[in-house]
Amino acid sequence: MKIKIFIFAIVLLLSSCSEFLEPKSPNEYIPKHASALDEMLLGSAYPSSTSDPLFVFHNILDDDVKITDENVTWGEVNVNQREAFMQLFSWHPDLQMTMKDAGNYQKVWETYYNLILGANAALDYIKEVSGTEEDKAHVQAQALALRAFYYLQLVNLFGEPYTYNKEALGVPLKLTSALSISYDKRKTVGEVYDQIVRDLDEAEKYFLMLPNEKQFLPNYRITLPAVQLLKARVNLYMNNLEEAAKYAKNVIEDWDFVLYDLRSISYDGVTFPNYVTYDNPETIWAFGKRNDLLKFTHDLMGDYGVKDHWVLINASDELVDNYEDEGDLRKQFYLVPEYGYTPVCYLAVSKCVFLGESIPSDDKFMLALRLSEAYLILAEATAKTDPTIALNAVNELRKKRISEEKYKDKSGLSGDELLEFVRNERRRELCFEGHRWFDLRRYGMPSFTRVWKEGGVAAKWFTMEKEDAAYTLPISKEVMDRNPGLVQNRLGNPKY
């Protein structure tokens, strides 16, 4: 018990809920009521504006980004970052070490496990506090769902794809806030996914113990429909297509979310709509912060004068050209043009920046679980077994994304052709929301090439080979040094 109290005290330091806990001594705090744990979750288990970035790698490694074509050079302030960014852009096996040497080390692994610690502390203490069964169920549901969400990110960053090699090493499974007697070892990818499924199943069970009106509240906490969407996503990643389709239908049919109709937006050249908010009728859970998405994809070069204000990373030509349908409003309302650039070049951000802003402000959420993902999961999961369902799902989405005068139902597709169309639709709809890198991994880890430019001129070509080990990030030296029980990943060997 002493060890658990000590760990809980550490978690408490990260939260703002001390008024809910009664001190036993200056260094020990014991939770008394379920409401204390509920508040503790906000401070130490949910992503916050003060936590280190969680999603910085999600949008920088794939084929949706490119180096700017503009004739710019690294400014004096950033010149020491050049090598680190080049290694990141080329998936170099030493990228973590080089980033640290450049003062740009990202504590992604550590931050996820700190948040998992917060979720575990709530689960460890839930039986020791007072409160109604409903209050306790709500705490357990959130903690389990958050833990599953974080492990899903970790295992897809640092483990091989489930459908490629589920026996490969994944990440350690920490399921308690107690101190470990020995060093934690990595579980297999399959074992991590099994735990994710168990946690989501348990979270769903506890949410169903709540009154209907409390199963979803637009209060930035994780909810039952968010859990069901995550279950659909996890089953899609595992290629359990029937289960993926079932949970996608739950989200579509059992709740009052509706697709945002882009045709209703009046473009006046002043502002983009704010998608990552509960004012958007398809938002299920909003989360994340500015640095999560913009740490790499919006790093600035040159001076801060208007004409010299260029970003290193832009949306790739391949992504922009993927909006092939005339009248596809997503190219207009999802992609953000970089000012002063002729011809138009787009920033590597989407749905989280207002026209007239160079970058989103710190008080805005950057990411969301959205209803549109459920339609795309349903379409992908049924593309080869029931093309009618798949086409109906993807057309329901497209009706809200393509102008009325240009819209036509997509028909006559089946098999691999339909699957490819759905996956391209997914790329168009979910761009820069942290999906593409994970999607490429589960699509079979295809080969693709990226070009490094200096002053707008191609200087180096980097090719990710098919099934390259670089599709799995190396664990940082800092993490490896602290835990000798860890085994490093196979290191990638992209062609330079």
| Both tokens assigned to 299 | 């790093």
**360 — pLDDT class (breaks 50, 70, 90):** low
Residue 476 has pLDDT above 50, yes or no: yes
Mutual angle of helices 108-125 and 133-158, in 10-degree steps:
160
Over range 334-355, report the average pLDDT: 76
Burial 216-245 (b: 16+ CB within 10 A, else e): beeeebbbbbbbbbbbbbbbbbbebbebbb
Distance between CA 49 and CA 69 in Å, rounded? 33
Length in residues, the chain: 496
Say which DSSP state 186 is in. Answer: P
- Tell me the average pLDDT of the chain: 88
In 3D, which of 195, 199, 117, 188 has the Cα closest to residue 158? 188
- Cβ neighbours for 468, distance < 8 A, ≥ 6 positions apart: 91, 445, 447, 492, 493, 494
Distance between CA 372 and CA 439 in Å, rounded? 16
The predicted-structure confidence for 87-115, as pLDDT tens digits, reads as follows 999 999 988 888 888 777 889 999 999 99
The predicted-structure confidence for 276-320, as pLDDT tens digits, reads as follows 889 999 999 999 887 777 788 776 554 434 445 567 889 999 999
Alpha-carbon distances, residue 194 vs 200, 276, 437 (angstroms): 10, 30, 22
Distance between CA 95 and CA 83 in Å, rounded? 9
In 3D, which of 398, 374, 378 has the Cα closest to residue 387? 378
- Give the side-chain half-sphere CA count within 13 A for 192: 32
Residue 327 has pLDDT above 50, yes or no: yes
What phi, psi does 457 have (nearest 5°)? -110, 130
Residue 3 has pLDDT above 90, yes or no: no
Distance between CA 177 and CA 53 in Å, rounded? 22
Q: Is 401 helix (H, G, I), strand (E, B) or coil?
A: coil
The confidence score (pLDDT) of residue 17 equals 39
- Give the Cβ contact number of residue 132 at 10 Å: 9
- Give the Cβ contact number of residue 324 at 10 Å: 9
Spatial contact of 143 and 119, defined as CB atoms under 8 Å apart: yes
Distance between CA 241 and CA 320 in Å, rounded? 29
| Both tokens assigned to 42 | 């906000």
Q: Is 229 helix (H, G, I), strand (E, B) or coil?
A: helix
Q: Is the pTM here over 0.85, yes or no?
A: yes
124 sits in which H/E element: helix 108-125
Spatial contact of 259 and 400, defined as CB atoms under 8 Å apart: yes
The predicted-structure confidence for 16-47, as pLDDT tens digits, reads as follows 333 333 333 334 467 899 999 999 999 999 98
CATH number for the region 1-54+107-215 comes to 1.25.40.390
Going from N- to C-terminal start, the domains of the chain cover 1-54+107-215
Instruction: Report angle CA 141, 367, 365 to the nearest 5 degrees.
Output: 95
Q: What is the DSSP string of 37-52?
A: HHHHHHHHTS--TTSP
- Give the side-chain half-sphere CA count within 13 A for 333: 22
Spatial contact of 136 and 174, defined as CB atoms under 8 Å apart: no
| Both tokens assigned to 190 | 């399959």
The predicted-structure confidence for 135-156, as pLDDT tens digits, reads as follows 999 999 999 999 999 999 999 9
Burial of 280 (0-12, 13-18, 19+ CB in 10 A): buried
The confidence score (pLDDT) of residue 179 equals 84
